[in-house]
A and B are shown apart, each in its own frame.
Chain A
Amino acid sequence: MVDAFALALSHGMLALVIWRLLKVQKAADEAAKPPRRMPIRGGRPRA
């Protein structure tokens, strides 16, 4: 019972760390992407 508790707690924390890391790094990757260029209204700009 104690073994099961210890294994579950420690592995649960490890899984949480990995999940948080993936989430934080994905957010960092999104933030690092260049902003999308929006199309200009009314067609091409004049020279």
Chain B
Amino acid sequence: MRDLMMIGFILFLIGAAMARPFLMSMAYIYVDLVSPQRITYYLLSSIPFSMIMAALAVLFFLIFEDKKNLRFGRLQVLMLIWMAWITFTTIISQLPEFAWIKWDSAWKSIAFGIFLPFVVTSRQRIETTLYFLILCVGVITITGGVKTLLGGGGYGTLNLLVETNSGLYESSTISAVAVAIIPLILYLYNHNTLFPKSKLLALFAGGLIFASLLIPIGTEARTGLICIALLGGMLWLKSKRKLMMLVLLGGIALGSIPFLPKSFTGRMSTIETHSSDESASTRVAVWKWTLGFVADHPLGGGFDAYRLNSIEYDMIGPDGRPKRVVDKARAYHSSYFETLGEHGYVGFALYMTMQIVALFQLRGLSRRFKAAAPEDAWIRDLATALFQTILTYMAGSAFVGIAFQTTLYLLLAIAAALAQFVYVRDAAERKAMTAKPRFIPGVGVTAAG
């Protein structure tokens, strides 16, 4: 039944793309984020779906899309350089047999991020991309949220549709992403052009936000709590009634503590006492190893260089006495140390530059359209929402290795698409203002334009 439902949906999506070709790019986003071939039991698992959708997305663009205003924006150029750099570090990697495997998925995420702004060229297409991003993540957050409410949570035990613990189905990753996209849910509720505001829409948006906030509780991922704290702070700063918002948020936070599972509050308390928590102690030890490794290998060790590590660290045992632990091939648990260890100082600088440039670009758009006419308020609000989302993602990625997750490159692509939309519009307005008057036979001299 599940297989049939998903095949039916995919066929419907492909059929819709025949009418509106840009939807083929949305189909790729769906396949990349949801991975229907992993959710279904039999029918889809043997088909190379991602590859087919990617090829169709590019083909539909080449055949059907208007390429008049095709232009590489700043973010796209940075992503292109980033893609070239990680390919270079993979060629010189310390463990090529592992590095090429990870490269094979990483370059696709980045390449699609470069390609998407060429397709997403209007407000409606930007909105559709946001719908797909939010609802595809929603496939997982709704499942996890409901199961958490029914008492099914627990670190590493919350079943999110599939057994595999990779991609968006990994606990810490979905915790960070689910919380990060909350500003985009709020933006779509306020500014979408497809559905009028109604109680049903408010209920759905509210339910999706609630499910997103339940994910960190259900997965017991500390990353999620850090993202909630940062996002709460940013939303509070932007709110017009700060005192009321502070009292409300504080009341909800304190009031919910008695209702949270004991295992959750116990795990969150280890944020302060990491020396008594093995996963946190490992994290710090791996980070120290990475700093030493990159000092000896400034260009990085290539993808999966963490497999070279062997770390010893002290932690406080359950009896309160210190104990020595030895561990090998422990993952970075941080996008920043991941990029530093795998792609060196240059790679780290490129990774940070991409995100910082995106943030500055979005902040510039927010400020420029601060006192915008009502028909342009959506640009300001979308730029603000994307800023909050990317910053929350950056905070979450400090504690989980998600430097090459599709979500990040989708967010950067949407930011690039928004900037490109404004640029093209400005260029058209400048052209209209400087156009010379024309003579039309039988009519006479017209005004400029």
| Interfacial residues, chain A to chain B (CB-CB below 8 A) | 2-11, 13-15, 17-18, 20-22, 24-25
Main secondary structure of the interface of A (DSSP, over half): helix
Query: With a CB–CB cut-off of 8 A, which chain A residues contact B5?
Result: 7-8, 11
| Total residues of chain B contacting the partner, CB 8 A | 32
Query: With a CB–CB cut-off of 8 A, which chain B residues contact A14?
Result: 9, 30, 131-132, 135-136
Q: Which residue of A lies closest to B145 (CB)?
A: A6
The distance in angstroms between the C-alpha atoms of A5 and B150, with both chains bound, is 14
Query: With a CB–CB cut-off of 8 A, which chain A residues contact B128?
Result: 17, 21
Q: Which residue of A lies closest to B125 (CB)?
A: A21
The distance in angstroms between the C-alpha atoms of A10 and B150, with both chains bound, is 19
| Interfacial residues, chain B to chain A (CB-CB below 8 A) | 1-2, 5-6, 9, 12-13, 16, 19-20, 23, 30, 39, 124, 128, 131-132, 135-136, 138-140, 142-143, 146-147, 150, 161, 193-195, 204
The verdict on A2 contacting B39 (CB below 8 Å), with A14-B9, A22-B16 known, is no
Interface centre among B12, B30, B39 (most CB of A within 10 A): B12
User: Which among A8, A9, A15, A25 is the interface contact of B12 at CB below 8 angstroms?
Assistant: A15
Inter-chain contact B150/A21, CB cutoff 8 Å:
no
Q: How far is the CB of A29 from chain B (nearest CB, A)?
A: 10
User: Which among A6, A11, A15 is the interface contact of B161 at CB below 8 angstroms?
Assistant: A6
Q: How far is the CB of B210 from chain A (nearest CB, A)?
A: 14
Q: Which residue of B lies closest to A13 (CB)?
A: B135
Inter-chain contact B124/A13, CB cutoff 8 Å:
no
Query: With a CB–CB cut-off of 8 A, which chain B residues contact A21?
Result: 20, 23, 124, 128, 194
Q: Which residue of A lies closest to B193 (CB)?
A: A24
Q: How far is the CB of A36 from chain B (nearest CB, A)?
A: 23
The verdict on A9 contacting B124 (CB below 8 Å), with A14-B132, A18-B16 known, is no
Q: Which residue of A lies closest to B195 (CB)?
A: A20
The verdict on A7 contacting B139 (CB below 8 Å), with A2-B147, A14-B9, A17-B194 known, is yes
Interface centre among B1, B2, B143, B161 (most CB of A within 10 A): B143
Query: With a CB–CB cut-off of 8 A, which chain A residues contact B13?
Result: 18
Inter-chain contact B19/A10, CB cutoff 8 Å:
no
Query: With a CB–CB cut-off of 8 A, which chain B residues contact A15?
Result: 9, 12
The distance in angstroms between the C-alpha atoms of A25 and B19, with both chains bound, is 10
User: Which among B23, B138, B146 is the interface contact of A2 at CB below 8 angstroms?
Assistant: B146
Inter-chain contact B2/A4, CB cutoff 8 Å:
yes
Interface centre among A11, A13, A24 (most CB of B within 10 A): A11
Given contacts A10-B138, A14-B132, A18-B23, 12 further A-B pairs with CB under 8 A are: A6-B140, A6-B146, A7-B2, A7-B143, A7-B161, A10-B142, A14-B9, A21-B20, A22-B16, A24-B194, A25-B20, A25-B124
